[in-house]
Amino acid sequence: MDARKFLRCGVALGLTAVLFVRSAGEPTHAAEPGATNAATAAGEGLSHTAASIHEQIRFEGNCARIYETLTDAKQFDALTRLSDAATLLSAPDAKPTAISHELGGPFTLFGGYITGRQLEMVRDQRLVQAWRAGSWAAGDFSVVKFVLEPQGQACQVTFDHEGFPASHGASLLYGWRVHYWEPLAKLLAQG
């Protein structure tokens, strides 16, 4: 299936979704040094029928570093090792992290549990992916979008995840926090 078909599928699913918005004024979870406005509890403010997540997270670090972490297998592995998903990398059947730099190219993350394709790549500014979890039904894909905006020495990430199976909203919200936002803040703090 080509990238355009993935995008059309994700957009169509996203049009029927209920939108979850995290406001810019919400406090940072204490365990998230360097990140603000990330989800603080699984399902907080999330409708159980939602098929969309929208968050704005401010990181103390530049957008180029964040983009590179999301698109480079070695750097993404470093992020994974800072999350509670690090054991997935050493599982006997784990697939190595692979991230294509080509439009339409595949990626494999978290030992193969997350897979997908690159739909749009604008260096240091935007990344859009067809994204799926290994526990989803065959052929189910969602669309994730990271928009990176510099704010002085920091970077605001506007994140949207649409078109996932509605019953997975709370676990995905939690997963983005503990597998992406918290470890990314730790990685950026390390320099």
Render pLDDT for 50-108 as a digit per residue (tens, 0 to 9). 479 999 999 999 999 999 999 999 999 999 999 988 787 778 888 999 999 999 999 99
Number of domains in the chain: 1
Q: How many beta carbons lie within 10 A of that of residue 39, not counting itself? A: 26
Residue 95: CATH number of its domain: 3.30.530.20
| Residue 44 belongs to some domain of the structure | no
| Residue 46 belongs to some domain of the structure | no
Is the CB of residue 36 less than 8 Å from the CB of residue 58?
yes
Span 7-42, pLDDT tens digits: 444 433 333 232 333 333 332 332 333 333 333 334
| Residue 170 belongs to some domain of the structure | yes
| Residue 42 belongs to some domain of the structure | no
**Average pLDDT estimate for 139-160:** 96
| Residue 13 belongs to some domain of the structure | yes
Residue in the block written with tokens 């928009």: 147
| Residue 18 belongs to some domain of the structure | yes
pTM: 0.75
The domain containing residue 107 runs over which residues? 3-25+32-37+51-189
